[in-house]
Structure 1
């Protein structure tokens, strides 16, 4: 693992998601304007990737490319240099509508390469849709972040990288703590890390996300193991069991505190882009 002091940690903030509402936590940013303001605060607190979903006028999840375009433009203006990652997740649309924002050429986009159970439904990612999304990401030079809800998803990403459907070494994010999917299990987590390094190389960057009460636990596991971490109101609306998070920035500050606990620097946006092999923006 090496000296953690020499390994800046990328903090990703998942600002909104498809499920949390103002009723769950008034700080959840729903409108594009709220999302931009919340992201700017999180950026200033240390987040260098923003994972984005958008909502319609009723606050329901959507894959509307125009909404994504408005959000992307605002983030580029107010958070110069921050890595913009758009979601192609299945709660926001169906079929190829899930990738309708990829022609906007964001820095990154999420890519789930297999199906799994969610709390009340199957999160369906059929092989033909996965291949189409991956093809669009290659066309528009968008780096995929592999959303690994299961070990098989890491192995499938390796197959897709080997046969050229994924252009660069995948950036894999372990998602743990989703009900009916993979729980936050330390032995499994350690095997995920082992598998990613075995398949893609010891120096490959990887990330982990914990859902709900698992968020802080996964932040600690990832940061202390040399990986990168995700936080934000999409995954967890609380600071602790009794306290709602006042903002996305507050959750980012918690992750930054964990970095300090393990003597890891928080990555700047320049370092994050270098670690992930992303182009530097001309106007930042």
Structure 2
């Protein structure tokens, strides 16, 4: 294969704490430094959450603005992707940072179970978030935690609520949601190609499933996500020393399957993003 593979780094998320792994970046300064190292290792998309000073999740637009400013200063061509996930806020608070006009933002188009609660994405909120992304020229990354989310994203693209072509990320390995299962993974690809032939896709695995999803995605010609948000370990006994270490592991898999690691410029072209 010669098609470049986009590596997304999910730098911090809303759950992992320094008590879990000291490498988890919490402050904006730490996140910028960690993102820069991951950028140098081959990541072309930074998936961004922000935290309060005590490490708890936040949707504060001021913190998002500072983080985006730092990434664009130190990683000038990297794609900045904000999270609108439900752990960081409620209702329209989840999209309060979208007027900052990041390159991309995550969008989950349906609800599903998380380890201890329901991850709620009611239709009216999904439509509101999608509308704001259209308004501000932000490309959504559809986070598909379930097969139904692929169907819903395709329907939203057909009726104009989402701009085509789609970019869909298969999220596998969340407890009580879709497990890391190769047959399901293959069916996801098949279904997306049938419903949205022009779509690009990415695979993200949680915990021990991260490296498996990385390899399956790269081998199948898709893109992939890694980072300390999803997984804090290199193996069962070894904590990851940094986001860059996880990106480097994904880049090694790209070499194994003769996939060049996409530069940020190539990633922008693949995703149809303006320079």
Same fold flag (TM > 0.5) = yes
The answer to whether the 8 Å contact 2:92/2:125 transfers is yes
Residue pairs, 1:73-152, within 5 angstroms: 73-152=69-148
CA distance in structure 1 between the aligned counterparts of 2:90 and 2:199, rounded to whole angstroms: 32
Deviation readout 1:63-90 (Å, 9 max, x if unpaired): 0000000000110000010000000000
The answer to whether the 8 Å contact 2:165/2:200 transfers is no
1:223 pairs with 2:218? yes
CA distance in structure 2 between the aligned counterparts of 1:29 and 1:74, rounded to whole angstroms: 14
**Aligned match of 1:196:** 192
User: What TM-score results when the alignment is normalised by the length of structure 1?
Assistant: 0.96
CA distance in structure 2 between the aligned counterparts of 1:137 and 1:184, rounded to whole angstroms: 30
> Which of residues 33, 51, 54 in structure 2 aligns to 1:55?
51
What is the aligned length?
Answer: 275
**Aligned match of 2:235:** 240
CA distance in structure 2 between the aligned counterparts of 1:170 and 1:85, rounded to whole angstroms: 15
Cα deviation, residue 168, structure 1: 2.0
> Which of residues 243, 259, 265 in structure 2 aligns to 1:264?
259
CA distance in structure 1 between the aligned counterparts of 2:124 and 2:262, rounded to whole angstroms: 36
**Aligned match of 2:16:** 20
Deviation readout 1:217-262 (Å, 9 max, x if unpaired): 0000000000000000000000011000000000000000000111
**Structure 1: gaps of 5 or more residues:** none
Structure 1 stretch displaced more, 224-233 or 203-212 = 203-212
SS at 2:124 equivalent: helix
CA distance in structure 1 between the aligned counterparts of 2:56 and 2:199, rounded to whole angstroms: 36
Residue pairs, 1:58-69, within 5 angstroms: 58-69=54-65
Cα deviation, residue 125, structure 1: 0.2
CA distance in structure 2 between the aligned counterparts of 1:170 and 1:63, rounded to whole angstroms: 25
- Superposed structure 1 runs of 4+ greater than 6 Å apart: none
**Structure 2: gaps of 5 or more residues:** none
CA distance in structure 2 between the aligned counterparts of 1:175 and 1:169, rounded to whole angstroms: 19
Deviation readout 1:194-220 (Å, 9 max, x if unpaired): 01111111x531001000000000000
SS at 1:192 equivalent: helix
User: What TM-score results when the alignment is normalised by the length of structure 2?
Assistant: 0.99
